[in-house]
Amino acid sequence: MADLVKITVDGRQIEVPHGELVIRAAQDHGVYIPRFCWHPRMREVGMCRMCLVEIETPRGTILTTACTTTAAEGMVVHTASDTAKKAQEGILEFLLINHPLDCPVCDKGGECPLQDQTMAFGPGESRFVEEKRHYEKPIPISDLVFLDRERCILCARCTRFADEIAGDPLIEFKDRGNHTSVETFPDLPFSSYFSGNTVQICPVGALTASAYRFKARPWDLLVVESSCSHCTVGCRISVESSQNHVLRFNGVDNGATNQGWLSDKCRFGFEFIGSEQRLRTPLVKVEGEFREASWAEALDVVADRLGAIIEEQGGDAVGGIGGARSTNEDAYAFGKFMRTVVGSNHLDARLDDGLDARFLAAVSPRAKIADLDRAATILVWAPDLKEESGSLYLRVRHAVQERGAKLVVVHPRRTGLDDRATHKLTYRPGEGPALLGELAGGAGDYAKVLETLSLGPVVAVVGRTGLTEQPQLAEEVAAFALSLPDAKVLPFARRSNVFGALDMGVAPTLLPGRAAAGDSEATGHLEAVWGPIPTQAGRDTMGILQGLVDGDLKALVLLGADPVRDVPAAGIARRGMESAEFVVAIDLFLTDSSELADVVFPAEAFGEKEGTITNLEGRVQKVNRVVTGPGQSQADWTILDDISRRLGKPLGFASAEAISKEIADVAPPYGGISWELLEWDAKEGAVVPYGEAGQPVAYRPDGVDREALAAMSRNPESGAFALHLARTLYDDGVLMRNSLSLHALAPGGAVHLHPADAARLGVSEGSLVEVETVDASVRLPAVIDPSLATGVVYVPFNQPGIPSLGSDLSVVVAAGEEVSA
């Protein structure tokens, strides 16, 4: 805690931290000083001059900017003296010389800082009668953002954001002087993954979002606060709707998670909610064709067929996949449904993360996101955070760029953080264990890296860099990281509520509350509420799908999961589902997977239901309802409850909130967490284990095991390349597919090759290349990518129209034959 100093603001003495900016100190004590350029999450620049205040100094009072002046003992500030008011009026009068005042047709009208502050601090009338400047009306500066230069007041919030926060300085002032305007470079759009933030922080209507332009007036919007469901950070957002349509998301400044920022995927990835493609009624497959059915009819079919399979072959013949896209309450209902109603331990929320459930749920000591702000060194041995978790990426970038933390990035190709990395280690997929061994040994070039890493506190973001990587490697990396001084691990997986679903026991090895399946005390505690649960060993997602292929399993329950699209081994997923005698899917859309189901129930989506989610650091936050689901859609838990009644073993849930109370009872780490707490007291969320609760499963990998590492190393078959298969921010996932603004931004299929390999194969940029794995054979355009090691190809996963290459390491690559025109 910094020393406190006494300063006087408008005659009132306040105590504020020494060195605090006057504008922030005053605001924290209820005095709002007008501003345009100053933003609490960016460096102060003092360029709009709106925050002029009078400050008494030994040489008399001076007029100065409150956003660049720091509080010091005895300082006397006047924010509303005649001189200060005159200065503020003058600045506003100048700003309005050229501002078009087209507020009635401007998206920002009604929530516009320029409008509001003109009302509060402005002169009321202007002495300027001259012609205002004119520019071409809005020009697109990216696929998602329009710029109307006439409205711009040159506060530079957007350009500073692009440079300082996003690290993509693709917009800048041009023609500085009398004709200053914000511009991109010709033919080089502001294609930042974070461009939408500039719309939110623009203090006028100069930047507008293509998805929201002219859709609503701010005062007509119904707004609730919620947490984003696109990745595992759970950024705080406001969900804003009009006439029962979600129209936009805005970032909410939650210090613990996103600090107000959102990636464009999260900001604009709401369109799927209102998609025409949403399921509206239950569907039942009759002679290979779906036909709309009533709830009663669909439930009867499920009760008959699933009931028969359970009756004849036992619950063990049924698998359940899903829950990672649901709320904790829904996931809990799913786990309870599978274990008590069906009587099966074959359930899994993980689709492709591949990481051990106990590792994800319970690795300790676990870092919080905010620990990045205190870390001296950050190790990122994980997927490219820029592609998979925008706000985590921004947080790491900020720690390095603005605070000077050291950064070590380990990844098979370039990542968004490379430009800020102290050390970047590149390796061939399959050889990660060998690299880890050498790094831990610290010989040769690795000595310097190890030296950097020995500067604590260390935060290690650990995940699976790609879908062909050995899943156990992450645990060894975590073990290595935890051997570093004052180290904590932040385990990374991407699918939004996968951590919550695992905490709810949606994994074969876990029970609710991070307890190990098979642990007699935890089982006893659970059975007291649930009744008997099965004891046989459960299968994970791949095991379930393989079991269906082999005929060991007969039926499948899908909860918001699309394994055909999301599991890298798409072939097994499809064959498994086709082999199943009966598949019931609960989903928002007919996906490649639910297409193969026998009965599909329409589920409510994000924004249509209430509940809680748990992010990667274990933070529980509330998500809220602002619109109603389309047609007859229902919450996941309601559907599961309905099915359970028909199967004669009612779950007996009354409401999602009632489920949350049951969770608090059943899962000790969640004890004390309630909706009321999250809504009123713990606004930034509550981190599990909460309160006094301990962690039933403590997972601390012990030390790097060189032998295990050696055994883990793999190489592609001779003559083949090593495949690096990784996700991109925009892809062909079902939510993206139904968010039209974003789906078009998916980079598309491509095969990235090292220049030397390309030369050897006779391949140049853009030429077609034959790519073959055990799972698929496709022809993709080549991209020359010097960031790869030789002998490696990178293929972005899940791109529109491109079949999955599977998770096998070996890939055969050959120049495609020229197709003559």
Partner 1 sequence: MSLWPAETQEMAKKLIGRYPDPKSAVMPLLYLAMRQDGYLTEAGMREVASWTGHTPAQVQSVATFYGMFKTERLGDYLVSVCTSISCMLLGGDEVLDAVEDETGVPHGETDAEGLFSVEHVECLGACGGAPAMQVNYELVEGSTPDQARSLCRWLREERPEAVNTDAMQEQFGGRRSFDWAITEDNSAVGPYPAFGPYGTLRRGDT
- Point out which residues bind partner 1 (CB under 8 A): 163, 168-177, 183-188
CB atoms within 10 A of CB 180: 14
Using only the alpha carbons of the chain, give its radius of gyration: 28
Angle at 264 between CA 260 and CA 266, to 5 degrees: 70
Q: Tell me the residue length of the chain.
A: 821
Cβ 247 vs Cβ 241: under 8 Å: yes
d(CA 105, CA 103): 5
Rounded to 5 degrees, φ, ψ at 429 are: -55, 140
Which letter, b or e, does each residue of 649-686 get, where b requires 16 or more Cβ atoms within 10 Å of its Cβ?
bebebeebbebbebbbebbbbbbebbbebbeeebbebb
C-alpha to C-alpha distance for 263 and 730, rounded to whole angstroms: 11
DSSP state of 105: G
636-646 helix and 295-313 helix, angle to the nearest 10 degrees: 60
Q: How far is CA 170 from CA 148, 166, 195, 744, in A?
A: 17, 10, 10, 21
For the residues of 197-214, what is the DSSP string, one character each? HHHHH-SSSSEEETTTTT
Tokens encoding 347:
């359930």
DSSP output for 644-667: HHHTT-------HHHHHHHHHHH-
Q: Which amino acid is at 271?
A: E
Cis status of the peptide bond prior to 365, with omega within 30 of 0: yes
Separation between Cα atoms, residue 723 and residue 751, nearest integer Å? 10
215 residue type, one letter: K
3-state secondary structure of 216: coil
Residue 335 host element (H or E):
helix 328-336
Q: Which residues of 83-99 are buried (b: 16+ CB within 10 A; e: fewer)?
A: ebbebbeebbbebbebb
DSSP line for 129-140: -SPPP---S-EE
290: helix, strand or coil: strand
Say if CB 523 and CB 493 are below 8 A apart. Answer: no
CB-count exposure of residue 692 (10 Å: 0-12, 13-18, 19+): exposed
Beta pairing partners, 319: 556
C-beta closer to partner 1: residue 20 or 785: 785
DSSP 592: T
Alpha-carbon distances, residue 566 vs 179, 327, 495 (angstroms): 50, 19, 10
Residue 401 CA to residue 511 CA, distance in Å, equals: 41
Sheet holding 611-614, edge to edge: 611-614, 619-623, 686-687
Shortest Cβ distance from residue 641 to partner 1 (Å)? 54
Residues forming a β-bridge with 56: 61, 76
The answer to whether the beta carbons of residues 667 and 696 sit under 8 Å apart is no
| Min CB(47)–partner 1 separation in Å | 14
**Residue written as tokens 């990122």?**
380
Between β-strands 318-322 and 555-559, what pairing exists: parallel, antiparallel or unpaired? parallel
Helix or strand holding residue 819 (H, E): none
Instruction: Specify whether the CB–CB gap between 180 and 133 falls below 8 A.
Output: no
At 556 the three-state DSSP class reads strand
Residue type, 775: D
Q: What tokens appear for 163 in the block?
A: 């440079």
What residues have CB less than 8 Å from 253, skipping those under 6 apart?
Answer: 40, 41, 236, 259, 260
Closer residue to partner 1 in complex, CB, 153/246: 153
First to last CA, the chain: 71
